[in-house]
C-alpha cells in the first residue's frame, strides 16, 4: 500500500481550499481542433467525494433557467485553477436539496459568518483610518 500512496502523492495537485456551499469559478482547458482555450464554469459546490487521486467535486449552476451540474476531478490536468468567489455556510456535506429549488432560491447559500465579520472589521478599520487622516488634516 505504501508504494501506491507514494506514486499517488507525486501526482496530486496543490489546490485551492474550498468547501461545500462555496461559490466557485472553475477554469478548465478545452481543446477545439488544434486550439486550446480556457472555459470558466461558475456555480455552487454541492458535493465533494473521494480522496487522494480519486477526489471529485460537483458544481451546480442555473443556465437559461435549467440547472446544470458538472463533476470535476480535483487532480485533473484539465483544471487550470479554482477561484473561490464567495464562501458559503451550510450544515450539510451534500447540497442535493438545491436541485428542487427554482430561480434565485436555487443559488442561495448563506454567506459564511467568519468571512462576513472579517469584511465588516476591515471596512470599519478603513473608516477609522480615513477619519484619523481627516482629523489630522484639519489640525
Residues 23, 88: contact at Cβ < 8 Å? yes
Cβ atoms of residues 69 and 59 within 8 Å: yes
Percentage of the residues of the chain whose pLDDT score is greater than 90: 37
Q: What is the pTM of this model?
A: 0.71
Q: Give every CB contact of residue 15 below 8 A, 6+ residues apart in sequence.
A: 74, 75, 82
Nearest Cα residue to 91 out of 25, 43, 42, 19: 19
Res. 116: pLDDT tops 90: no
Count Cβ neighbours within 10 Å for each residue of 4-28 and write b for 16 or more, e otherwise.
Answer: eeeeeeeeeeeeeebbbbbbbebeb
The Cα–Cα gap between 75 and 50 comes to: 12
Q: What is the pLDDT of residue 136?
A: 84
Q: Tens digits of per-residue pLDDT, 44-99?
A: 999 999 988 889 999 999 888 888 999 999 988 899 999 999 888 888 889 988 88
Tens-place pLDDT, residues 6-17: 888 888 887 778
Q: Given the C-alpha cell 470558466, which residue does it identify?
A: 40
Amino acid at each position: 500500500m505504501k508504494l501506491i500512496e507514494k506514486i499517488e502523492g507525486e501526482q496530486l495537485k496543490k489546490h485551492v481550499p474550498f468547501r461545500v456551499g462555496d461559490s466557485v469559478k472553475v477554469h478548465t482547458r478545452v481543446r477545439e481542433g488544434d486550439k486550446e482555450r480556457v472555459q470558466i464554469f461558475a456555480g455552487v459546490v454541492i458535493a465533494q467525494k473521494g480522496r487522494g487521486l480519486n477526489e471529485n467535486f460537483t458544481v451546480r449552476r442555473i443556465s437559461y433557467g435549467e440547472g446544470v451540474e458538472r463533476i470535476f476531478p480535483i487532480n485533473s490536468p484539465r483544471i487550470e485553477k479554482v477561484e473561490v468567489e464567495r464562501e458559503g455556510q451550510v450544515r450539510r456535506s451534500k447540497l442535493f436539496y438545491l436541485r428542487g429549488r427554482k430561480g434565485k432560491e436555487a443559488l442561495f447559500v448563506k454567506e459564511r459568518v467568519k468571512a462576513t465579520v472579517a469584511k465588516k472589521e476591515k471596512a470599519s478599520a478603513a473608516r477609522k483610518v480615513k477619519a484619523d487622516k481627516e482629523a489630522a488634516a484639519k489640525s
